[in-house]
Amino acid sequence: MFKPASGKWEMRKMPRKTNTAYTVGMMIYNDNTDNVFTTTTTQCNIKGIVQETYASEASTEDIYVLCPCEVSCTFFATGGSGTLTKAMEGDQFDFASGGLTIAQATSTYDPVELVKFISATEGEFKFNYTFGVED
């Protein structure tokens, strides 16, 4: 589960993908078809944190998402696999599938960085933004 920790965040309405369920605290990104929950391979186009629960239905009703307004924004996240340690501060990790946790045992796409260790299952993270051209 994700929630803002620091920095300026703003509430925005965004289109939802039909037949997709959304949960409060879920991180979403745009997969070039619509806004969906993050997966193990999410690397870019991350939008923010869903603020309401929406059932899976054939609806195009907008969803409410808290979006970071600054590069320095941080957020709290729980881990889904592995154990966080203080020594991992500064390390980068992937999202777990399903959009609700970080996969602190996986570091392939590295969309987030641990900035503050809180417990073995929770930390404060920031997004890893890339500037310029990627390979």
Taking each continuous run of H as one helix and of E as one strand, the counts in the chain are 0, 11
Which range marks the domain in which residue 80 is found?
74-127
Tokens coding 26: 């879920």
Are 45 and 13 found together in one domain?
Answer: yes
Task: Flag residues of the chain having pLDDT under 50.
Answer: none
Are 120 and 82 found together in one domain?
Answer: yes
Q: Are 62 and 38 in contact (CB under 8 A)?
A: no
At 38 the pLDDT is 92
At 84 the pLDDT is 92
Say if 118 falls within a structural domain. yes
Q: How many domains does the chain have?
A: 2
Sign of the dihedral through C-alpha 108, 109, 115, 118: negative
At 60 the pLDDT is 75
At 132 the pLDDT is 54
Q: Is the pTM of this model over 0.85?
A: yes
Residue 86 main-chain phi, psi, to 5 deg: -60, -35
At 134 the pLDDT is 54
Q: In the listed set 33, 50, 68, which residue is the last one of a domain according to the structure?
A: 68
At 80 the pLDDT is 79
Say if 18 falls within a structural domain. yes
At 106 the pLDDT is 87
